[in-house]
Amino acid sequence: MADTAAPPPPPAAPTPGLPAAPGTNPLSRKLNKILETRLDNDKEMLEALKALSTFFVENSLRTRRNLRGDIERRSLAINEEFVHIFKQVKEELESINEDVQAMSSCCEDMSSRLKAAKEQTQDLIVKTTKLQAENQRLEMKAQVADAFIAKFQLTPDEMNLLRGTKDEPITEDFFKALGRVKQIHDDVKILLRTNQQRAGLEIMEQMALLQETSYERLYRWTQNECRTLTQESCDISPVLAQAMEALQDRPVLYKYTLDEFGTARRSAVVRGFIDALTRGGLGGTPRPIEMHSHDPLRYVGDMLAWLHQATASEKEHLEAMLKLVTIQGVEENIQEVVGHITEGVCRPLKVRIEQVIVAEPGAVLLYKISNLLKFYHHTISGIVGNNAATLLTTIEEMHLLSKKIFFNSLSLHASKLMDKVELPPPDLGPSSALNQTLNLLREVLASHDSSVIPLDARQADFVQVLSCVLDPLLQMCTMSASNLGTADMATYMVNSLYMMKTTLALFEFTDKRLEMLQFQIEAHLDTLINEQASYVLTRAGLSYIYNALQQHKPEQGPLSNLSSMDSVSLKVAMAQFDRYLSAPDSLFMSQLNFLLSATVKEQIIKQSTELVCRAYSELYAAVMDPSNEYKDPETILHRSPHQVQALLS
């Protein structure tokens, strides 16, 4: 074996006369060879020993002697077993071979029979192939024809829907069929660009006739539906909205349908308005509007409010009916139909509002009604635009009429003031006519301030109202005070102007008028200030002396040479002036106590005192001037201007 140790070197030749060496013994060599064998590397030996261990179970002399025979008998038994098994395998293979031979014979027989059959049926196969090809072509044509019919023709059910009876209702399936007709009519144009023009023209003509029939039926149904919408509140069905969407392709039918709807709703609105005026709501709530005819503002307001609500409702009905319409001008159509609907109530509305206005309920109520009409004109025009011309024109006419009569009322009131001018009262306060007129103006302006008409319109009305009332008032006050004295006239005018100013100060858009009144008040205040200062100077003994001082010129010589300006006269006057300084509150004009404004009174006293101090300062400077030749001027005027000002302040 390759894995055993290297063989020992060959034995040396025996030496004559000596015993043989141990390595030369054959048995010894075999033993050595066996001992040197490495069993762990000899796999065949290991397998042989393992097989031997299965039947060599007893290690005895007999068994060792019989081992070779046992091994040979065991090998013979194994070989006999192999022979038996392979004999069975051979028999099975021979059986399989017979079956294969039989199958081969059968296949050859079938092949020969098929070959014969094929030769016999060759013509039939050719014919069958041709028929199958023809069948495929016919099926393709049938599919094309079915597709053509499905694309360019209607089903019997769709035809029945479109050609239904007069009393048969319109459903959503009708609009699907109508849409199908429109689609076919559009798609058939493709055929006109091909070789199928004749078919395309026939289909187009058929669809056109069917469309006209369908639209005519749809129009009749829609017309009948609109005629039933005569209740005060109506519900627009989705089918009616779809009908209007379909009719938009026929402008004439679309317009006629809107006219029919407008006529039906117009009668409903007129009937509802008359019922609201005379009968009220269901069960008496709300009460009839005519029951409030004794209250002009509420009466007119309730009618306009009802009309505003009805206008908004009718617009909502039209929007619901035309919500699916996509053509241009839908909003104009809505406004036009709403204008036609509301036109019916214009006459009864105008008659009733005219009765209220012509009855002249008073300037304030007329002005409130005018503002109310202006507000609803603005509000309703925002809902329906300017196309509801008749309704808006009626409201505008009533607004102008009420405004005209209102200003006529104010003008009449002003003319009465000028016809009978009252004398100022003894306390020089505002006259009763002035108070009444200002109360009227206050009520008018208050109602104007609370109105909700646009700002620019309110401002324009404000200017006109103020001009119509204030200008005659100012003229009346001037004429009334024309026969009074200067101080009395100024006091009366200040009080009257002050009342006008306080009245206007509460309202907006009066800044220019307030500024004008303030200028007039200040002019009369200057008069009162001068009168008060003159009154003090006269009572304090300085008036004559101050006038002489103002008239003296340097070329007349020293001031002390004048008879009324000598030292003795000045000392007497100063003694009287000192008494005024000790009690300045005692020298107030009686007219100052009649002033309505304490602030104005304080202003007059303050500024008149300043004039007195200025006069004393001029006199003091003249006396102290050496050119006027006063001896010991300090003994004449023993108070400086600052001291006098401190005493009077």
Quote the pLDDT of residue 401: 92
14-41: average pLDDT: 65
d(CA 67, CA 62): 8
**Whether the predicted pLDDT of 411 surpasses 50:** yes
List the single range of 353-357, 419-423, 510-514 with lowest mean pLDDT. Answer: 419-423
Q: Decide if 363 contacts 444 (C-beta within 8 A).
A: yes
286-312: average pLDDT: 90
Query: pLDDT tens digits, residue range 534-586?
Result: 888 888 878 788 888 778 777 777 777 777 777 888 888 888 888 888 777 77
List the single range of 37-41, 124-128, 287-291, 513-517 with lowest mean pLDDT. Answer: 37-41
507-525: average pLDDT: 86
Q: Give DSSP secondary structure letters for 214-268.
A: HHHHHHHHHHHHHHT--SSS----HHHHHHHHHHTTSHHHHHHHHHHHHHHHHHH
**Whether the predicted pLDDT of 218 surpasses 90:** no
Quote the pLDDT of residue 193: 67
Q: Decide if 619 contacts 542 (C-beta within 8 A).
A: yes
**Whether the predicted pLDDT of 9 surpasses 70:** no
Q: Which pLDDT band holds residue 259 (cuts at 50, 70, 90)?
A: very high
**Whether the predicted pLDDT of 217 surpasses 70:** yes
Quote the pLDDT of residue 194: 66
Cis peptide, bond prior to residue 7, ω within 30 of zero: no
- The encoded tokens of residue 34 equal 């066996």
d(CA 227, CA 174): 21
**Whether the predicted pLDDT of 1 surpasses 60:** no
- The encoded tokens of residue 558 equal 């020293």
Query: pLDDT tens digits, residue range 105-141?
Result: 999 999 988 888 888 888 888 888 899 998 899 889 8
Q: Which pLDDT band holds residue 11 (cuts at 50, 70, 90)?
A: very low
Quote the pLDDT of residue 24: 63
Q: What is the mean pLDDT of the chain?
A: 82
Burial class of residue 238 (count of CB atoms within 10 Å of its CB; 0-12, 13-18, 19+): exposed
**Chain mean position to CA 436:** 48
Q: Which pLDDT band holds residue 309 (cuts at 50, 70, 90)?
A: very high
Quote the pLDDT of residue 351: 93
* HSE-CB of 297 using CA atoms within 13 angstroms: 12
Please indicate whether residue 22 or residue 622 has the higher confidence score (pLDDT): 622
185 CB contacts (<8 Å, ≥6 apart)? 204, 207, 208, 211
Quote the pLDDT of residue 184: 74
**Whether the predicted pLDDT of 319 surpasses 70:** yes
5-29: average pLDDT: 53
413-421: average pLDDT: 80
Quote the pLDDT of residue 352: 92
d(CA 186, CA 147): 16
Q: Which pLDDT band holds residue 454 (cuts at 50, 70, 90)?
A: low
Quote the pLDDT of residue 576: 83
Nearest to 144 by CA among 202, 207, 199, 192: 199
CA distances 184 to 178, 207, 213, 356, 370, Å, are 10, 7, 16, 64, 61
**Phi, psi dihedrals of residue 25, rounded to the nearest 5°:** -80, 125
Q: Which pLDDT band holds residue 199 (cuts at 50, 70, 90)?
A: low
* Residues comprising the chain, all counted: 649
Quote the pLDDT of residue 460: 73
410-419: average pLDDT: 82
- The crossing angle, in degrees rounded to 10, of helices 197-227 and 172-187 is 150
List the single range of 50-59, 154-163, 503-512, 596-605 with lowest mean pLDDT. Answer: 154-163
Q: Which pLDDT band holds residue 363 (cuts at 50, 70, 90)?
A: confident
Please indicate whether residue 5 or residue 271 has the higher confidence score (pLDDT): 271
CA distances 398 to 304, 371, 407, 444, Å, are 12, 11, 14, 19
> Residues of the chain with pLDDT > 90: what percent?
15
Query: pLDDT tens digits, residue range 374-399?
Result: 889 888 888 887 766 788 999 999 99
d(CA 647, CA 10): 170
Q: Which pLDDT band holds residue 167 (cuts at 50, 70, 90)?
A: low
**Amino acid present at 397:** E
Instruction: Count CB atoms within 10 A of the CB of residue 197.
Output: 11
**Phi, psi dihedrals of residue 164, rounded to the nearest 5°:** -60, 170
Q: Which pLDDT band holds residue 349 (cuts at 50, 70, 90)?
A: very high
d(CA 116, CA 109): 11
Give the position of tokens 């098994």: 85
CA distances 369 to 92, 357, 394, 451, Å, are 127, 8, 14, 10
Query: pLDDT tens digits, residue range 225-255?
Result: 888 888 877 888 888 888 898 888 888 999 9
Query: pLDDT tens digits, residue range 282-292?
Result: 776 778 888 88
Helix, strand, coil distribution of the chain in percent, nearest 5 = 80, 0, 20
Instruction: Count CB atoms within 10 A of the CB of residue 335.
Output: 20
**Phi, psi dihedrals of residue 366, rounded to the nearest 5°:** -60, -40
d(CA 126, CA 439): 120
Quote the pLDDT of residue 394: 92
Task: Give the SS3 label for residue 134.
Answer: helix
Quote the pLDDT of residue 97: 93
Q: Decide if 395 contacts 370 (C-beta within 8 A).
A: no
CB under 8 A, 24+ apart: contacts of 606-613: 607/529, 608/529, 608/530, 608/532, 608/533, 608/536, 609/533, 609/536, 609/584, 609/648, 609/649, 611/529, 611/530, 611/533, 612/533, 612/536, 612/537, 612/540, 612/542, 612/648, 613/641, 613/644, 613/645, 613/648
